[in-house]
Structure 1
Amino acid sequence: MFQTSVNSYKPHILIADDSRGIVQLLRSFCEHEGYRTSEAYDGFQAIQMTQTLQPDLVMLDMNMPKASGLDVTKAIRSDTHLFDIPIIMLTGLTGREERLKAVSAGVSDFQNKPVDREELMLRVRNMLRMKKMSDLLQEHNRELEDLVQQRTRELEKVLAEVTEANRSIHEGYAETINRLAVVSEYRDEDTGMHIKRVSLNSREIASALGMDSGYVENLGYAAVTHDIGKVAIPDQILLKNGSFTDLERSLMMKHTVIGAQMLSGSNSPYLNMAEKVALTHHERWDGSGYPNQLFGETIPLEGRIVSLADQYDALRTQRTYKPAFSHKKTYDILTLGDQRTSPEHFCPEVLSAFTRIHL
């Protein structure tokens, strides 16, 4: 094999022929041109020496003992470490079929016997030139492969670092949201449990709607803060036993706007969704909700989902002014309506997803 980094490298030629006289003649031709040589006197020896020495060119006779020139050629071509070594076949054959068989086996070129020195050396130089170009190309390909592997490892490292950074950011935002939700638990334990159940129910509805896992996860975090604005509502109103006065109800309704203001101005997709949920989870599909009387699809999807999840849990939870309703009664109220609640309050697609979950 050519070593391109050494300019003084002398190509190595293996000469295989069962006639010692021919071998000596061919060796003298090659050494006169400055080539190194090795000799084999039967086909089996030629195969072994090619495997061991990996010469730059093999020059062999068609007819040899133990293995013919065609057998040697097939053995060389079947070895992944040797298959690109040029082979010049020395033969007296002139028939088309015989030459086609030799070419099919992998012979690179032919030299008729008796050997013409000038012609043979011209063929040798051409084959060695082709071999040198092949070696250079393989070396270049190996360098490219090494470079690609190196760049791939570097990119994988950067990707892993970016992934870890995104994970840390994600966990940081999630922790921020959860800590905001804890504030509600200090004010009212029932509210603390309520927001966790609303988060779970919101995830289930979003999944039933066919939303992707990223949306479902983000909504779960956002739903946790839907009532965060209640931290600004006075205890005498938030924890009041009994019905609200009109003024108290007006103040309580402001928790949507206050919550959105608390969550606004962030670059986080989690907090942006949480802001929408806080502001719109009391809006109704028919426009009868608050604070902005939005209707239909002007209400963000996340607000529509949390609205239903919130109402479901409110009906299922005991309050000073009402008992906890059973799942069946709650389901009937949401889907059929009662004096306070109507199916028209909810997005039809969201309500349909809810019913599929709870049938």
Structure 2
Amino acid sequence: MLTAAVAVQATDIHLMPKANGYLMKMRSGGVLSKSESFSIREGERLIAYLKFTASMDIGEKRKPQSGSFRQIVNGLPLSLRISTLPAVPHKESLVIRILPQEHVPHLSELTLFPYSASKLTALLAQPTGLILLSGPTGSGKSTTLYSMVQHCASVLNKHVITLEDPVEKQQDAFVQIQVNEKAGITYATGLKAILRHDPDVIMVGEIRDEETARAAVKSALTGHLVLSTIHARDSAGVIGRLVELGVSRHEIHQTITGITAQRLVRLCCPSCGSVCQPDCTQETRQAIVCELLAGEELLRAVKEVTGHSEGERRQTLKNELRKGVAYGFIASEEWTRWHAGEADISQKQR
């Protein structure tokens, strides 16, 4: 199963319970593949094995659980993040997030347009502040975050400490701390301890709640550069999200130096002329398209709290995608898929 997932560059494997068995689907390039079926006995044994390997309680099926373990597949080291959910009737749904552990690429290799990488690199040269990356699940935020941290440690020669739950990519260039609530290491307590360890740059895996948000802002106020991710629809929406989490306008104005919103898009295949077809032998290539809120535009958005109107801010990311299609980097099918997804989100919000 893992060998097949690596072959198609899958990011997630889903094991979903059905009445007479289990279905397996793989997400590759943001799209779920056709499902394969398992018997109930095979599915339950597979889930039990994965839970045991990830140090989870195999006898507990009534509560959600999460864990992780490392595996080498075809010579490629992988970190596998396991998550389970109780499902009806008396079964479990399991998802495997596949995190390759190879060298983190430079920002210029991740972004579709070179100027996006240049702007992000310029933000990292600042000694203090808070840089937040936003975007939906699977948009490449973690990879971008690791690339930025790697740049700080290797190129700028700064002392970097990360606080993650879980540690997704193990790197030797900086100190990584795993959140462990049972041992008393939460995001808040971990950040307090990190501040006494003389860091130049602090990376927080994700701002999820009010406690983490306030701890990240406080770290930035003490004269450190803090990098993190947060879930918001666009870059201006991050400001409103922070306000919801209890961060004051003054703290936002004093700490935030840059906000990005990004999407992961599939690039045109040189053989197919558009999105890679299932029988194509070429490797599916993806790149990040992002909008950046910084400088005077960031100051205006902070003063207005909610930033520019939604239509104006969304237009920025939309223009970046249109530019990619016009230059022939992004297939028109990918633009149609993204646009349909955005229209569906707007309809649900209304």
Give the structure with the higher percent helix: 1
TM normalised by structure 1 equals: 0.22
Larger RCO, structures 1/2 (Cα 8 Å, 6+ apart): 2
TM normalised by structure 2 equals: 0.23
